[in-house]
Amino acid sequence: MIKTLAKSVREYKKDSIKTPIYVTVEVVLECLLPLIMASLIDEMGNGMWPIVKYGSILLVLAGFSLFFGMQAGRTAATASCGFAKNLRQDMFFKIQDFAFGDIDYFSSSSLVTRMTTDVTNVQNAYQMIIRIAVRTPFMIIFSVIMSFRIHARMSLIFLCILPILGIALFTIIFKVFPIFKRIFKKYDALNNSVQENVAGIRVVKSFVREDYEKEKFEKASEEVRQDFTRVEKILALNNPIMMFCIYTAMLLVSFLGARLIINTGGTELTTGQLSSLISYGVQILSSMMMLSMVFVMVSMAAEGCSRIVEVMKHESILTSPENGEKEVKDGSIVFDSVTFQYTPDCEKPALVNIDLKISSGQTIGILGGTGSSKTSLIQLISRLYDVTEGRVLVGGKDVREYDLEVLRSQVAVVMQKNVLFSGTIKENLRWGNKEASEEELVHACKLAQADEFITQLPQGYDTYIEQGGTNVSGGQKQRLCIARALLKKPKILILDDSTSAVDTKTDALIRRAFREEIPDTTKIIIAQRVSSIEDADRILVMEDGRIVQSGTHEELLAMEGIYRQVYDSQTRAKNA
């Protein structure tokens, strides 16, 4: 785990090394201060010279200690923030290579939690490790050594207190660690609730379900609160235990030290040395308190570390083959005895024994009810999932033989609920081709019947699209997504019910543009409206993961079956 995380330190390695060095020098200087102070106290009765001499030394040591402390703080902040930046970046890049199945495995809300809350906890822990976790043991060791130099028997008080503090600390950590592990899973559920609510806020309001969503969020939030309260109650014991031990040690040192000075007349222990012992005792026991804070932070971050490393070390279930095919010959598609299920423990496959041949340039329509696995079928073409049995061929080759980037660059998919990103219309369109010229943008939008409404916007193609495309209508969003897909100049274009929000006239114009402008591109159109696919070269009717009917519009109308029933119901509804 440490080895995996250490790879993200990279250019901040120098600051990570400098910090402990600065801290060590700072600790040494701080440990010298009580020793000088003891000499100052013991010689104060000898005039002003000892005060000036030792006072000057104290000021110089304090000044240098402050300088090195500031340097340690600066380099620690730089190293920890840079480490967190690299960690988020590495996770983000890793997630970009995940297949749909990988995202399903982790869940999007959990990935968000890992990139935000978990990384922040790891960042804070890293800063404490390279600074405080170095400072406290050195401070304890140096202070114990210095106190033993002053008076060994009195210093044994500190050594007796240390095990008590250590046992209390590790008992607390042992209790809270399992709770932290449980909290992060509940954070995932909380983030999922927020994510769903914000993404579907229009649906929530239209169905007046605000109270329900509030109750759901309150429940998830309350579970996190309860666990955190339990953790805080346990951690709250840390401070009083530490303070009790510190003040007990100070009282014993003060009492026994004062008694020793009186009984020996200051020959065995001087007033200055007693003052130094008290200072070293405070440093030792305060360092133990700081060490307890480090352990608490590290305990909190430990679970986050394991969750981050789980993402970093996860190998995608879909990878490009070594020396994969770099060219897709054409847009022909073959499904050869394909069976597919999303996970091995699914009750039944999504697709069963699919045999299908599509010639390059053909237009294929697919019709079927909800849950008939239309989308599952087309997701196998661009290898968003791998088949469970059989094989899918594109351009005469198994999709598993292609380099993934090459294959997906030649298969453009427009979903019903496709996504527009915040940015201008031009920037969104250039997702299809970042090098596209102005003329290519306009041409693609004309084919998708989007140019007309774009030119009516105040800023035209420079109009800013809000996150998720909330400032354009559903039909406009679909047309922009179709134009974006066309800019890829793909060999296969798949429309997954992506004209559902446009009127029938616009739908017809888009299909006519496809026939005339991209005749060599294989077009697969999933639709609920018969009018959207009636002029296709072949129409497939799917039910329960199987192709139950296949033929042209006229051939299917001549049969008794699902297609005829859907056509008749839509025709009656249109004439009603």
Find the DSSP H helices in 448-552: 451-455, 474-486, 504-517
Q: What is the H or E stretch that residue 92 is in? A: helix 48-96
**Residue 521 confidence (pLDDT):** 92
Residues of the chain with pLDDT under 70: 45, 181, 184, 195, 198-200, 202, 206, 573-576
d(C-alpha 262, C-alpha 482), whole Å: 93
**Residue 79 confidence (pLDDT):** 94
d(C-alpha 556, C-alpha 541), whole Å: 9
Entry pTM? 0.71
Q: What is the dihedral of CA 343, 348, 349, 350, to 10 degrees?
A: -100
| Beta-sheet strand order (sheet of 546-551) | 411-414, 492-496, 522-526, 363-368, 538-543, 546-551
Cβ proximity of 539 and 556 under 8 Å: yes
**Residue 574 confidence (pLDDT):** 64
User: Angle CA(241)–CA(245)–CA(249) in degrees, nearest 5?
Assistant: 170
**Residue 199 confidence (pLDDT):** 64
